[in-house]
C-alpha cells in the first residue's frame, strides 16, 4: 500500500536578518507585528497544502487566536502583507492565505520526499464555497500535472458542476457585486468606522439573516454611545465587515459610564472630570488661619515683647 503523501512541514527557514517586510510590520505594530509574521509562517507550515482558508468563521477565529491579536489588527496586518505581495493578493481577496515564497523555500524538503511541493490553490470566484486545490485532493482525482490535465477534463467536470450565483434579496443589478444597494448605503452612512467598504459589502451580500435595515441603523446609533465604542476615541469599534459577519448587532454593551477614563482619555481622577477632593470643615480652616497669624506675629515682634 502506497504511503500517504504529506503536505505539511515541521520546520521552515528562519532568516537571522530582518528584511523589509518584518521591519515594516515591527515599525507599525511593534512586537505584535513581528510575532504575527512568524506565527503565520508556522501555521502555514502546519496547514495541509500550506494555505489557510479564512472563509469559514470558525477557521478565521482560530487564526486570530493563534496570532494572539484582535481581529482588527489581524485584518490590518494581512491587508498590509497583501499590499506588499507577501501573501497572494488575489487569493486574499477571497479570504485565502497563500505565500508562494514560503513554499519555494521548502523545495529541498519536498525534494527529499521525492514529491513536488503543493501548487497555488485554484479557487473559483463564482462559487467560493467549493474549490479545486492543486494538492493531495487534486492528486486523488488524477490531476497530477499540467500535462495530464488536458486528458482529465471530462473527469474533472464531474467534480465542478455549474452553480448559479447566490441570489441577493436587495441587489439592484444581479451580476454586479459593486452596485451598492440603498440599504447598504444607509448602513455605511450610519456606521462610524469607514474602513474596508468592499469587504463590508461582500459580508452584507452574504449575510442573509440580518434584521431589517431600520433596526440595524437604530442599533448602530445606540452602540455609538456605548462605553466600549467611545473608549479611547473609538479604538475598539469593530470593522464594519466584522460587525456584519459576526452579527454584532446582538452585542450586550454597557452604557452611561466613562469606562474608567476621563474626558482626556487619561486614568480616572485626572482631566476636566476629575473627582473633587474631600470637603474640609470651615472651622478647621478658620483655626488654621488663626494659628498661622499668631505664629507670624510672634516671629515679627521686637525682641523682648514676646
Q: Among 62-66, 99-103, 149-153, 289-293, whose mean pLDDT is lowest?
A: 149-153
- Measured CA to CA, the distance from residue 2 to residue 144 in angstroms comes to 16
User: Residue 121, class by beta-carbon neighbours within 10 Å (0-12 exposed, 13-18 middle, 19+ buried)?
Assistant: buried
pLDDT at position 275 over 70: no
Give the pLDDT confidence score for residue 17 in this predicted structure.
59
Give the pLDDT confidence score for residue 6 in this predicted structure.
65
Give the pLDDT confidence score for residue 96 in this predicted structure.
94
* Domain ranges, ordered by start, for the chain: 7-121, 124-163, 182-250
Give the pLDDT confidence score for residue 8 in this predicted structure.
78
Q: Pick 138 or 205 by higher pLDDT.
A: 205
Cell representation of residue 15:
532568516
Give the pLDDT confidence score for residue 129 in this predicted structure.
45
Average pLDDT over residues 286-296: 63
Give the pLDDT confidence score for residue 114 in this predicted structure.
86
Give the pLDDT confidence score for residue 166 in this predicted structure.
47
How far is the CA of 138 from the CAs of 132, 141, 179, 191, 236, in angstroms? 7, 5, 36, 43, 42
Give the pLDDT confidence score for residue 203 in this predicted structure.
93
Return the residue matching grid coordinates 459580508. 203
Partners of 261 in the β-ladder: 267
Phi, psi dihedral angles at 10 (to 5 degrees): -105, 0
What tens digit of pLDDT does each residue of 5-42 get? 666 766 666 666 568 898 999 899 999 989 999 999 99
Task: With beta carbons less than 8 A apart as the criterion, state whether 275 and 269 touch.
Answer: yes
For 174-299, strand residue ranges (E) read none
Give the pLDDT confidence score for residue 55 in this predicted structure.
92
What tens digit of pLDDT does each residue of 157-213 get? 444 444 444 444 444 444 445 578 999 999 999 999 999 999 999 999 999 889 999
Give the pLDDT confidence score for residue 223 in this predicted structure.
94
The conformation of residue 34, written as its DSSP 8-state character, comes to: H
Task: With beta carbons less than 8 A apart as the criterion, state whether 20 and 83 touch.
Answer: no
270 confidence band (pLDDT: 50, 70, 90): very low
Q: Degrees (nearest 5) of the Cα angle 131, 48, 82?
A: 70
Q: Pick 234 or 130 by higher pLDDT.
A: 234
For the chain, strand residue ranges (E) read 51-53, 96-98
**Residue 166's CB: how many other CB atoms inside 10 A?**
13
Give the pLDDT confidence score for residue 15 in this predicted structure.
63
- Measured CA to CA, the distance from residue 203 to residue 118 in angstroms comes to 30
Q: Pick 89 or 134 by higher pLDDT.
A: 89
pLDDT at position 284 over 80: no
Each as own residue / partner, the long-range contacts of residues 74-77 (CB below 8 Å, 24 or more positions apart, any chain) are 74/36, 75/196, 75/239, 75/241, 75/242, 76/29, 77/25, 77/29, 77/33, 77/36, 77/37
Task: Calculate the average pLDDT of the chain.
Answer: 75
Give the pLDDT confidence score for residue 300 in this predicted structure.
64
What tens digit of pLDDT does each residue of 35-90 get? 999 999 999 998 988 999 999 888 999 999 999 999 999 999 999 999 999 999 99
Amino acid at each position: 500500500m502506497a504511503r500517504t503523501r504529506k503536505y505539511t512541514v515541521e520546520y521552515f527557514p528562519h532568516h537571522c536578518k530582518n528584511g523589509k517586510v518584518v521591519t515594516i510590520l515591527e515599525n507599525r505594530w511593534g512586537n505584535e507585528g513581528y510575532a504575527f509574521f512568524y506565527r503565520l509562517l508556522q501555521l502555514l507550515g502546519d496547514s495541509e497544502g500550506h494555505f489557510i482558508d479564512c472563509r469559514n468563521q470558525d477557521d478565521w477565529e482560530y487564526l486570530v487566536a493563534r496570532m494572539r491579536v484582535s481581529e482588527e489588527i489581524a485584518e490590518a496586518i494581512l491587508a498590509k502583507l497583501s499590499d506588499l505581495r507577501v501573501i497572494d493578493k488575489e487569493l486574499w481577496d477571497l479570504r485565502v492565505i497563500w505565500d508562494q515564497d514560503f513554499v519555494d523555500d521548502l523545495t529541498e524538503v519536498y525534494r527529499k520526499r521525492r514529491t513536488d511541493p503543493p501548487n497555488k490553490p485554484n479557487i473559483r470566484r463564482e462559487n467560493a464555497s467549493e474549490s479545486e486545490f492543486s494538492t493531495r485532493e487534486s492528486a486523488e482525482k488524477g490531476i497530477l500535472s499540467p500535462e495530464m490535465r488536458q486528458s482529465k477534463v471530462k473527469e474533472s467536470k464531474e467534480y465542478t458542476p455549474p452553480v448559479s450565483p447566490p441570489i441577493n434579496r436587495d441587489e439592484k443589478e444581479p451580476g454586479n457585486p459593486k452596485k451598492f444597494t440603498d440599504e447598504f448605503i444607509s448602513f455605511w452612512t450610519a456606521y462610524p468606522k469607514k474602513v474596508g467598504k468592499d469587504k463590508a459589502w461582500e459580508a452584507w451580500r452574504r449575510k442573509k439573516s440580518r434584521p431589517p435595515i431600520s433596526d440595524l441603523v437604530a442599533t448602530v446609533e445606540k452602540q455609538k454611545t456605548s462605553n466600549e465604542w467611545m473608549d479611547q476615541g473609538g479604538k475598539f469599534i469593530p470593522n464594519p465587515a466584522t460587525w456584519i459577519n459576526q452579527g454584532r448587532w446582538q452585542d450586550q454593551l454597557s452604557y452611561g459610564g466613562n469606562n474608567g477614563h476621563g474626558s482626556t482619555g487619561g486614568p480616572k481622577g485626572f482631566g476636566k472630570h476629575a473627582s473633587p477632593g474631600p470637603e474640609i470643615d470651615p472651622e478647621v480652616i478658620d483655626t488654621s488661619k488663626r494659628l498661622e497669624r499668631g505664629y507670624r506675629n510672634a516671629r515679627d515682634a521686637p525682641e523682648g515683647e514676646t
